[in-house]
C-alpha cells in the first residue's frame, strides 16, 4: 500500500467545516483512498472512500485532486463528537492481502 502523509493535529470550531488533508503522491492507479476515524478508546470507524471522483455520504465528503496525489476529507458541520484521530489510507479493495495499514493520522480537536 502507498504511504500517506497527514498533519499531526488540527483544530476546528464547533459548527464550522473541518477540512482534513492527506497527501498520497505515490498512489497507484487501482488504489482507493479510504478514511477512518478513531474516537478515544474505541475501535476505528469507516467514514468514506473513493477512487477519483468526489464522494459524499451522510458523514462526510471526500475531495480527490485530479492527479489523485492528495485528497481532503470534509466534515461540513463539525460537532464535539467529531473529535477523533482521522486516518487516511490507500489500498486496493479486495487486494491480495486486504490489510489496512494505519499511519499516524490527524488528531482533530473540535472546540466549543
Partner 1 sequence: GAVVSQHPSRVICKSGTSVKIECRSLDFQATTMFWYRQFPKQSLMLMATSNEGSKATYEQGVEKDKFLINHASLTLSTLTVTSAHPEDSSFYICSAYKQGMNTEAFFGQGTRLTVV
User: In the complex, which residues of this chain contact partner 1 (CB under 8 A)?
Assistant: 34, 36, 38, 41-46, 49, 85, 87, 93-95, 97-105
Nearer to partner 1, 12 or 88 (CB): 88
Nearer to partner 1, 18 or 48 (CB): 48
Nearer to partner 1, 94 or 112 (CB): 94
Sheet holding 45-50, edge to edge: 9-13, 106-111, 84-91, 32-38, 45-50
Nearest approach, Cβ of residue 94 and partner 1 (Å)? 4
* Distance set, CA 5 to CA 32, 35, 112 (Å): 15, 13, 28
Amino acid at each position: 500500500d502507498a504511504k500517506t502523509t497527514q498533519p499531526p493535529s488540527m483544530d476546528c470550531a464547533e459548527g464550522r467545516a473541518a477540512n482534513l488533508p492527506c497527501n498520497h503522491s505515490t498512489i497507484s492507479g487501482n488504489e482507493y483512498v479510504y478514511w477512518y476515524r478513531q474516537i478515544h478508546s474505541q475501535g476505528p470507524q469507516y467514514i468514506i472512500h473513493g477512487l477519483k471522483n468526489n464522494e459524499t455520504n451522510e458523514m462526510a465528503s471526500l475531495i480527490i485532486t485530479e492527479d489523485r496525489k492528495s485528497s481532503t476529507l470534509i466534515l461540513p458541520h463539525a460537532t464535539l463528537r467529531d473529535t477523533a484521530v482521522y486516518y487516511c489510507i490507500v489500498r486496493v479493495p479486495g487486494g491480495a492481502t486486504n490489510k489496512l495499514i494505519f499511519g499516524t493520522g490527524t488528531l482533530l480537536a473540535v472546540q466549543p
